A and B are shown apart, each in its own frame.
Chain A
Amino acid sequence: DQQVKQNSPSLSVQEGRISILNCDYTNSMFDYFLWYKKYPAEGPTFLISISSIKDKNEDGRFTVFLNKSAKHLSLHIVPSQPGDSAVYFCAASEPGGYQKVTFGTGTKLQVIP
């Protein structure tokens, strides 16, 4: 049972435009959500996170939105740059779960120059 779902395996966006990556979850116990970026031959690196007490968190070009009622979060990248081309993983954790983080299957973003 996939508790965190990223239904778009890939996404192509023109440089300078907005990239929107989506993620849905089913476990209502999740209260902390993170996005990681992964380049080939490297481990994932943390990008941005959001607690369930918030509905938006910004960090430079990256903004994460959380809609708890819909169990949906999204990552916005504005403007998109070629260096953003990578696989993006949505992840979630619940209190008491320590570092047991549930990841989505990833969305491969390609930013076209």
Chain B
Amino acid sequence: KAGVTQTPRYLIKTRGQQVTLSCSPISGHRSVSWYQQTPGQGLQFLFEYFSETQRNKGNFPGRFSGRQFSNSRSEMNVSTLELGDSALYLCASSGAGRHDEKLFFGSGTQLSVL
């Protein structure tokens, strides 16, 4: 079974630009969540999608948005990029998205904002 796939692996953008990251969950998984990892901050929850609906959202500004398609694939968009958005963005999937289910993570997209 293929794991969680994130594309691209690396991105370099400049301030003010926007970026779209993509995530393909494990086949059969319906829940996709996104996390931001920065040095010293651990993983910060961005949002979770289940059956194309956003079920939960973390404390991030509205510049961060996402969506999920009918095949469970998900995209995350960051508009008007700021230097502080430089981070590793991780996507995770699980079957039913219960709070006591383990997450399966992709390798992440490393975003650098110059």
B56 touches A100 (CB 8 A): yes
Contact of A100 among B40, B45, B94, B105 (CB under 8 A): B45
A89 touches B42 (CB 8 A): yes
A49 touches B31 (CB 8 A): no
A99 touches B40 (CB 8 A): no
Bound state CA distance, A101 and B92, in angstroms? 11
**Chain A CB within 10 Å, residue with most, of B35, B42, B105, B108:** B42
Bound state CA distance, A51 and B102, in angstroms? 12
Q: Is the interface of A mostly helix, strand, loop or mixed?
A: loop
A99 touches B48 (CB 8 A): yes
The answer, yes or no, to whether A41 is at the interface (CB within 8 Å) is yes
Given A98-B48, A106-B42; A93-B100 close (CB under 8 Å): yes
The answer, yes or no, to whether A63 is at the interface (CB within 8 Å) is no
The answer, yes or no, to whether B106 is at the interface (CB within 8 Å) is yes
Contact of A98 among B35, B43, B44, B56 (CB under 8 A): B56
In the complex, 26 of the A-B residue pairs with CB atoms within 8 angstroms, ordered by the A residue number, are A4-B42, A32-B100, A34-B102, A36-B103, A43-B4, A43-B92, A43-B107, A44-B105, A46-B104, A89-B43, A93-B99, A98-B48, A99-B33, A99-B55, A99-B56, A100-B33, A100-B48, A100-B56, A100-B58, A101-B33, A101-B99, A101-B103, A102-B45, A103-B35, A103-B42, A105-B40
